[in-house]
Amino acid sequence: MLALLGVRRLLVHPPSSTERPDLGGALRLGTSLLALVAGLSLGPATGWAWWASALVALGFLGLYGFWLDQGRRERAGRPVLVAPSSLRLPSVRLGLLMAVLLFAGYGAFSYEYSMLTQVGLGLTPVQSGLALTAFAGTFVLAGLHMPGIMSRFGERTMELAAVLLCAGLTLLGVASWFAQGKSVAIWVGCFEVLGVLLGAAQASQYGPLVGTVMAAVPHRVAGLAGGLFTTAQQASLGLGIATIGGVFGTLAPRLGWERAFAVALGVQLITTVLFWVLARRLRSRPRACGTVLAPGVSTGRRHSIDHIPARGRRLDQSRTCRVPLTCPRSACALSRQQNSSQQKETSRCDQDDHYAQAS
């Protein structure tokens, strides 16, 4: 209700095109994801009944048809929800895989925590929420200080966050495994302590992800890549619950809630290691001109442009290609332009002196 009331205060931007948005594509995408997530969620609980397998198959077929339709609409110049051409950029592909791994793990972790604390340990919803205080509070504080964190660690922020998250998941998994059959207060106490590490690590993964990937793609496709990330984020949350959460739900009756949670954390540990590998590959990719750096992200290169005048450092906002100030090629280009102007000015002055002496 508050969001609806605040809509009237937003700035209205007239559409650049009179064409209608792809409502059919949105319906096709939503239906396909619903069938896929429902099939993956209910499949393990029903022993993979035929209708659950059919839902998964229909979901994949629907997504494939949606992808083909988006490609046809893009080639025809019509509005699309997801632009297949943007996936040709390696940075976008890496970023999408990182988003899938991150949000699938986060969605599964949230689901497993609520099931463990309320069903397995017998906590009330209020007690379960209060036990998240350290985790949630650290997540919020780290998010508020993210510009300073990124200024300190630069493009290595996500790699370091993945390492911290691996450590936290390992410690929490070991604590959960050995807390089986013991007092509930022991597990809750361990989670409260480790929640500080987990909250800071996940916030440091989530915060820089989109900005760092957007900094590695040309400005002209930034909007299309942002749409891909939004779609991947929403889909991955449900898929994480259906897959990793499904493993947790299947193992809980056999191993016990705490040990099933430890095994699920081991699966999330694998996805976090893969996230670290992809973050390292993304950082090592050469940054092309025509990209926009995320706020607070440093390239780590030692090229200085202090010798360039302030008026020469300003970006021309009318250009389609906007080059980051820290890009070495932009610095060199501006330096060559300044030197050329100085040489022309010196040559003109020498000519004036020569004419004055001749006269």
300 — pLDDT class (breaks 50, 70, 90): very low
Task: Calculate what percentage of the chain has a pLDDT beyond 70.
Answer: 73
The pLDDT value recorded for residue 48 is: 80
- Nearest-10 crossing angle of helices 146-153, 157-178: 110
Residue 332 scores a pLDDT above 50: no
The whole-number pLDDT of residue 22 equals 79
Question: Which strand (E) or helix (H) includes residue 337?
Answer: helix 328-358
Residue 356 has pLDDT above 60, yes or no: no
Closest CA to 134 of 201, 199, 204, 203: 199
Contact between 145 and 126 (Cβ < 8 Å) = no
How far is 260 from 158, CA to CA, in rounded Å?
28
pLDDT digits (tens, 9 = 90+) for 189-240: 999 999 999 999 999 998 888 777 777 666 766 666 777 787 788 888 888 8
pLDDT tens-digit map of 90-126: 878 888 899 999 999 999 999 999 999 999 999 999 9
Could you give the 3-state DSSP secondary structure of residue 263? helix
Q: What is the mean pLDDT of the chain?
A: 78
What pLDDT sits at residue 113? 95
Residue 291 forms beta bridges with which residues? Answer: 218
Residue with tokens 């050469």: 286
C-alpha span between 135 and 304 (Å, rounded):
40
| Per-residue model confidence (pLDDT) at position 36 | 86
Q: Report pLDDT for 216.
A: 65
pLDDT digits (tens, 9 = 90+) for 45-95: 787 889 988 998 999 999 899 989 988 988 888 888 777 777 777 878 888
pLDDT over 90 at 329, yes or no: no
> Where is pLDDT greater, at 213 or 326?
213
Radius of gyration of the chain (CA): 26
Instruction: Give the per-residue pLDDT at 287.
Output: 54
pLDDT at 315: 38
Q: Can you tell me the mean pLDDT for 137-163?
A: 91
The pLDDT of residue 140: 93
SS3 content of the chain, % helix, strand, coil (to 5): 75, 0, 25
Tell me what pLDDT residue 12 has: 58
- The set of residues, in sequence order, having a beta carbon less than 8 Å from that of 166 and lying 6+ positions away, is 269, 272, 273, 276
- DSSP E strand boundaries for 83-140: none
Phi-psi category of residue 256: left, alpha or beta, with phi > 0 → left and psi -120 to 50 → alpha: left
Which of 94-103, 162-171, 331-340 shows the lowest per-residue confidence on average (mean pLDDT)? 331-340
CA atoms 44, 49, 52, 58: torsion sign? positive
Q: What is the DSSP string of 2-63?
A: HHHHHGGGSPP---S--SPP-HHHHHHHHHHHHHHHHHHHHTTTTTS-HHHHHHHHHHHHHH
What is the reported pLDDT for 309?
Answer: 40
pTM passes above 0.85? no
pLDDT score at 314: 38
Higher pLDDT, 14 or 307: 14
Please, what is the end-to-end C-alpha distance for the chain in angstroms?
Answer: 83
Q: Report the alpha-carbon distance of residue 122 to residue 196 in Å, rounded.
A: 23
Decide if pLDDT at 30 tops 60: yes
**pLDDT at residue 139, as a whole number:** 94
